[in-house]
Structure 1
Amino acid sequence: MLLAVLSDTHLDHPDARFSAIYDRYLAPADILLHCGDIVSPSMLHHLMMHPDLKAVGGNMDYWGVREMLTDTVSFEAEGFVVGAVHGWGSGHGLAEKVAAAFGQEYDLVCFGHTHVYQHSEIDGIHVVNPGSVTQPRKGPPSIAYVYLEKDEPIRVEVIPLDSM
């Protein structure tokens, strides 16, 4: 099962570049997980075209978007327990804080907020920040692919979007 993870799109509407990214990288995923800062209702409605969108609110989301989303989301996929949150505060130690907030019952937790791609394993929990699609702070714009197969280890791949 392919889980496509993105965060921090920070767009008022889906421009041609984002639409191309959606068509090429996001639409084919079994589950699409957005870790906050979708920002606008127009972007949220575009993402809702995906048949299995899961999303959390971010600190920069407009009121209309924020009211439609929760702070966290949890779900099971292929026997793995997955959680997501946008993130908070400074980026320093945020992955550890996110892992601790969800706890040991989770196999994978995803977050955004820092605009920096990160994948680490903390106390047996895979912690993934896909970076930012539009405003990366280190490295190219990016998303993450997470491969979830029952009874197989979780695999995470960064997808750089600098050629898009």
Structure 2
Amino acid sequence: MRLAVISDTHLDEPSAWFERVYARHLAPADALIHCGDISGAGLLHYLMQHQSPHIVAGNMDVHWAGGDLPSTLAVELEGVRIGVSHGFGSKSGVARRVAEAFGPGYDLICYGHTHVAAVEEYRGVTLLNPGSLEIVHGEPSLAFVTLIRGHAPRIELHRIDRHGAFA
């Protein structure tokens, strides 16, 4: 199973560039995780067309989404237990705060908030931040996770160029 993971899109509506990224990279994935800070109902509606969307609210979604999006999500795909959260508080140390909030029992925790792509291990759990597709510190990025039952998740981080292709 191929899982696309994005975060921090900060768009009210999908831009032409985002639509290219979606068509090339996100739509073909078996499942899509968005780690929050969507920023608008138009983009949320667009993302919900995916065959298997898993979406949480970020700090920039509370004012327009209210309680319509969960702040955290736990999902099991291919026997892999995945936690999803936007992240909270200072951007320094957010990965560990999110991991501690979820507690034990997860194989992969996906989060955002920092706009910086990162993969790290913490207390035996893989922590994945796909970075940001719009308001970036560096280049736009996303992640793919290959899930095979009985195996550790395989993570690929990709930078995206202005044409929506891998950089």
CA distance in 2, matches of 1:123, 1:150: 21
What corresponds to 1:121 in structure 2?
A: 121
Q: Which residue of 1 aligns with 2:145?
A: 146
Query: For residue 110 of structure 1, what is the aligned residue in structure 2?
Result: 110
Residue segments in structure 1 that go unaligned for 5+ positions in a row: none
Q: Does 1:30 align with 2:33?
A: no
Amino acid at match of 2:146: Y
Structure 2 counterpart of 1:86:
86
Contact 1:4 1:26 in 2 (8 A): yes
Contact 1:40–1:62 (CA<8 Å) still a contact in 2?
no
Which residue in the other structure is 1:50 paired with? 50
SS in 1 for 2:101: helix
- 5+ residue gaps in structure 2? none
Contact 1:35 1:84 in 2 (8 A): yes
Number of matched pairs = 163
- What secondary structure, in the 3-state scheme, does the structure 2 residue paired with 1:75 have? strand
**Percentage of identical aligned residues:** 47
- Alpha-carbon distance in structure 1 between the residues aligned to 2:64 and 2:140: 26
The residue that corresponds to 2:132 in the other structure is 132
Q: Aligned-pair distance for 1:67?
A: 2.8
Runs of 4+, deviation exceeding 4 Å:
none
2:95 counterpart residue number: 95
Does the Cα contact within 8 Å between 1:7 and 1:131 map onto a contact in 2? yes
- State the superposition RMSD in angstroms: 1.1
1:21 matched residue in structure 2: 21
Where do residues 145-164 of structure 1 align in structure 2 (5 Å cutoff)?
Answer: 145-163=144-162, 164=164
Contact 1:36–1:86 (Cα < 8 Å) also in 2 = yes
Calculate the TM-score normalised by the size of structure 1: 0.95
Structure 1 residue 64, shift from structure 2 partner: 3.6
Secondary structure of 1:157's counterpart equals strand
Q: Deviations over 1:11-43 (max 9, x none)?
A: 111011000000011001111000001110000
SS in 1 for 2:17: helix
* TM-score, normalised via structure 2 length: 0.94
**Preserved CA contact (<8 Å) 1:8 1:36:** yes
The change in CA–CA distance for 1:102 and 1:149 in structure 2 (over 3 A counts) is same
AA aligned opposite 1:32: L
Aligned partner letter, 2:157: V
